[in-house]
Structure formats: C-alpha cells, structure tokens
Structure 1
Amino acid sequence: MEKVQQDCYNEWMSLQAKRMTELKQALSSGEKDDAELRKLIRTVVGEFKDYAAKRCKHSRRFSSNYFAPTWNTCLENALLWMGGCRPSSFIRLVYAMCGSQIELRLTNFLRNNNIDGLSMEDGETDGGGGGSIGGGEPMSDLTAEQLFKINELHIKTVEEENKLTKRSASLQEDTADMPIAVSAFYKEVIGEADVVVERALDKHEEDMAGLLAEADKLRLTTLTNILEILTPVQAADFLLAGKKRHLSMHEWGRSRERRRLEAY
C-alpha cells in the first residue's frame, strides 16, 4: 500500500511541475486571455480534488503513512499539518505576495526617482511592473473589497483548523487509554494482547483517515474560495507561486539531507 501511496504522490508532483510551466507561459504572454486562464485554473483545482480523493481512498487502512510520509524529506515532514500544509498558509501566501510586490514597486520607484535621478512624466510607469511572478495584474493591486473577503476567509479557516487540531489531539490522547495501555502493560501475561492492540490501532487509523479527508476538504475549500476572490491573472499568479513553493521546499529538503549525509 505504501508504494501505491508514494506513486500517487509522485504523479501529483509531476503534475505540479507541468502545471507550473503552463501557468508561467500563460502569464508571460503579451495578451492575457482570461478565458484560457480560467480553464487552466479549473484544471489545477480539478487535479487537486482528484488527488485528495485518491488520498482518501488509499488512507482507509493505512492513514498513518500520510502523517509522516517516507517519500517526504525530514524538512517537509516537520512542517506537515494533518498530512499536508495548513489551509491558512494559502492565505498567508496571498499576504506575502501582496507585501513583497508593494515593497518591490516602492523600491523601484525610489531607485528611479532618487538614486538614478530620473523623474517620471505624468502617466509614465516605472517600467518594471508590480513584481508579479508572471507579469500583468500584480497581487499588490488587490482591492479593499478583495482584502476584506480574504481576511474574513482567513479568520474562518483558522477556526476550522483549530477544530481539527483539537480532534487530532484527542485521538493522540486516546492511544494512552484502554485497551492499548493496559494491553501493553500485561503483554507478557495476556496472550491475546496483540489482537486487542491491533483492533484499537485499526480504529485509530480509521479515525485519522477521517481527519485527513476533512483536512484535505478544508484545503480544497480554502483554495477554491481564494481563487474566487482573485481575478484570473491574480489567481494564476497565486497558483504559480504556490507550486513553486511546494516544489522548492521538496528540493531544499533533499539538499539539506544530502549535506547532512556528507557531513558524516
């Protein structure tokens, strides 16, 4: 089963790289086609939904594999929440992109006006755009209404995350209760202890699989809601940044592990 789960993950990572290239190409073209961008965005969301469905299917009896995947790097596993990223991290990425692009535009403006001694004529731009990854309508152009909706979504998402975190904590505490603790203590006396423990752990795996499915549902819902708030260009830029972050984190983790092995 672990091989099936890892193959599913590898297929997902390949799709991430493929869609990242397509998003980059779509955003770098001179004329942005909103219809084509929306089509590509729907494809990305559909693939995420399919991946979550496959994870749900593969986790019914072996959900623990997803909470500490062997196919991940140690760095990635250290950052996991319910077998993936926190849904609220999607919203934090929007804030980070918005802030970094505003900072870049301000830096370009100050450099052009103060350092280079260049003054801008009325209507002239700084020529560098807003710092958007793919060009075009930058995330720093979010309207007040968009920011208000994203903030509302952030609050709601964190509340849902906290509920799932509390349920996960309760399940972890249950492993110290009957029958596991007592069975472990009397393991040498009671021959049937292993059977009792296996049943308890199977139930624990089922409960964790349910949590994983709910966490993936929250991730998908949060992503979908963000994309509905953003314009097609902003949404594509956001998806591109998210995929770059995901793939880069995997590479950074592998690089750190290689250096750690070489040190010994």
Structure 2
Amino acid sequence: MATSGSSRYETEQLQKGCYYEWMSLQSKHIADLKEALMSQRSKENDRKLGELVGKIVDDFQKYTERRSELSHRCCSSYFAPSWNSSLENGLLWMGGCRPSSFIRVIYAMCGSQTETHLSEYLLKIDENVGDANNSTDGSMSDLTATQLAKINELHIKVIQKEDKITKKAANLQEDVADMPIAVTAYATDLVEAGVAVEDALDKHEECMAVVMAEADRLRFETLRKIVEVVTPVQAAEFLLAGKRLHVSLHEWGRVREEKRLGCARTGEASAAREDAGKSNRSATC
C-alpha cells in the first residue's frame, strides 16, 4: 500500500466524495421511505414498498464495497475522517457505526411506538371511540414474539462478532509498539521513517483495511438479516429511523463545532482586547 503524499491526498478526496454521495443518497432514501410509508398506510403500493427496501439494502452493499475498494488504497482516513465532526468520529467503530446499534434502534422504536399506541388505546377507552382493540398498521410496536426472539438472537451473535473484530484491531494497534517501529523511534531524536518502518506501517494499514472491510460486511449482513425478519412496513420504518439518526448526528456535530469555533473566536477576541487594554494601561503608567 505504499503511496505518495499526493496519491494519498487524491485517495482521501475520493473517499470524501464517496461519503458525500452516500449522504446525498441518504436524503433521497428518507424522502422515498416517507412517501412509501404514507402510501402504505392508505393500503396502496405494498409491492413498491418491498422493492424500495430491497433497493436501499442493495445501495448500502454497493457503498460498503466502494469503501472497501478505497480503503485498500489508504485506510487511515476512515478511522478519523476529516469529513466528519468530532462528535461523529467519537462514535465510530472500525470506520463506521456498530452493527449492534441497528438493533438498538429497533428496541428504541418498539418501546416508543408501544407507549404511543398504549396512550391512544387508553384515550379510545376513555372517550368510547371505536374499537379499542383495533389492530395497528404493522409497525415496530407490532413485532411478534417470534420476531423479537430472532432479533435478540441476532443481537447476541452480532455482539460476539463485534468483539472478535475489536480484538483483531487491538492486536494490530499493539503491533505498532513492536519491531521495527518502536526501536527506530527510540534510536533517533529526529524520527525519520526508513524503508523498514515504511514497510511496517504499510503492512499495518493493509491489515486495518482488511479489518474494516470485515466490519463493513458485518454491518451489511446485520442490516440484511434484520430486513429478513421484519415486515416490509417495519423494515421501512427501521431504515427511515436509522437514516434520520445518521443524518441528524452529522448535522448536530457540525452545528456543535460551529458553535465551539464561534465561542473560541469570541474568546480570542476578548483576550486580545484585554491584552490591548493592559498594554495601554502600562503605557500610560
């Protein structure tokens, strides 16, 4: 994976472009899912909803494959992306989100929707409106015992696989303190990477790219298996929630950094004014 500085920069720009193309596609997916769910609730376009869910899963697979291709040119960028906010980078696991977080989204949606439906149920009883036992529209609150058991089983397996990948990454991180990297760093005050160190770092980056690709496969397989367990309506609701979360975190992180940057600039300006005032007072004295 030995690459020049200019080549690394070009690769990072390709990675950044790939990410923003995906974010743009996320926004389109959100609009398509909202429209399809509204149609579904009016008992139309059942087949179209299933096709949309399948297309979104395929799009995610293509995105992970593209990431894998680009990571083998230069992997380091994915572990602290310049296109992410500090908030997003602090939440990364192997260059992306934890696959187990997909299932946590389902649990959160299930609990939230159940609470909403319970409130509506009690309101109908109080007002004697319609049939209080009227069935819902197949949303996450309607997950069956069989579905919940399959999702829980998947959750356990995914966490176990995450732990294995995390251990592989930990071992690779420990290898950085091995020969020849640590010895070279100790032996000279001016740390210049020789051929042996460059080869070792290239090898390390290649191995990290393999680990990240394994993590991406786990992300995709988790998504695919969730969609297989739930109904098309539930799958669409899950995908919509996950995409909104992703887009929202990106936006929240950006806004928080802009606020911090603004506060920092305000603080610097205040400090400069205070220093100027001290200088003027000193000159007067």
Q: What TM-score do the two structures reach when normalised by structure 2?
A: 0.84
CA displacement, residues 40-88 of structure 1 (integer Å, 9 cap, x when unaligned): 1111111111111111111113101001100011100000000000000
Offset of 1:105 from its aligned partner? 1.5
The structure-2 alpha-carbon separation of the partners of 1:79 and 1:189, relative to structure 1 and needing over 3 Å to count, comes to closer
Offset of 1:159 from its aligned partner? 0.4
Query: Match for 1:210: what amino acid?
Result: V
1:87 is aligned to 99
Give distance in 2, aligned partners of 1:124 and 1:162. Answer: 43
Q: What TM-score do the two structures reach when normalised by structure 1?
A: 0.90
Aligned length: 252
Give distance in 1, aligned partners of 2:160 and 2:26. Answer: 28
Q: Which has the larger radius of gyration?
A: 2
Give distance in 2, aligned partners of 1:111 and 1:78. Answer: 42
Offset of 1:121 from its aligned partner? 4.4
Query: Match for 1:249: what amino acid?
Result: L
* Matches for 1:176-187 after TM superposition, within 5 Å: 176-187=177-188
1:158 is aligned to 159
1:204 is aligned to 204
* Matches for 1:66-215 after TM superposition, within 5 Å: 66-111=78-123, 113=125, 117-122=126-131, 125=134, 136-187=137-188, 193-215=193-215
Give distance in 2, aligned partners of 1:260 and 1:189. Answer: 35
Give distance in 1, aligned partners of 2:51 and 2:173. Answer: 42
Structure 1 runs not aligned, ≥5 long? 131-135
Give distance in 2, aligned partners of 1:221 and 1:180. Answer: 36
Give distance in 1, aligned partners of 2:198 and 2:76. Answer: 14
The structure-2 alpha-carbon separation of the partners of 1:111 and 1:258, relative to structure 1 and needing over 3 Å to count, comes to farther
Aligned alpha-carbon RMSD (Å): 1.8
Report which stretch shifted further, 26-35 or 222-231: 26-35
Structure 2 runs not aligned, ≥5 long? 1-10, 265-285
| Equivalent of 2:36 in 15, 18, 26 | 26
Secondary structure at the residue paired with 2:194? helix
Whether the aligned pair in 1 keeps the contact of 2:185 and 2:191 (CA below 8 Å) is no
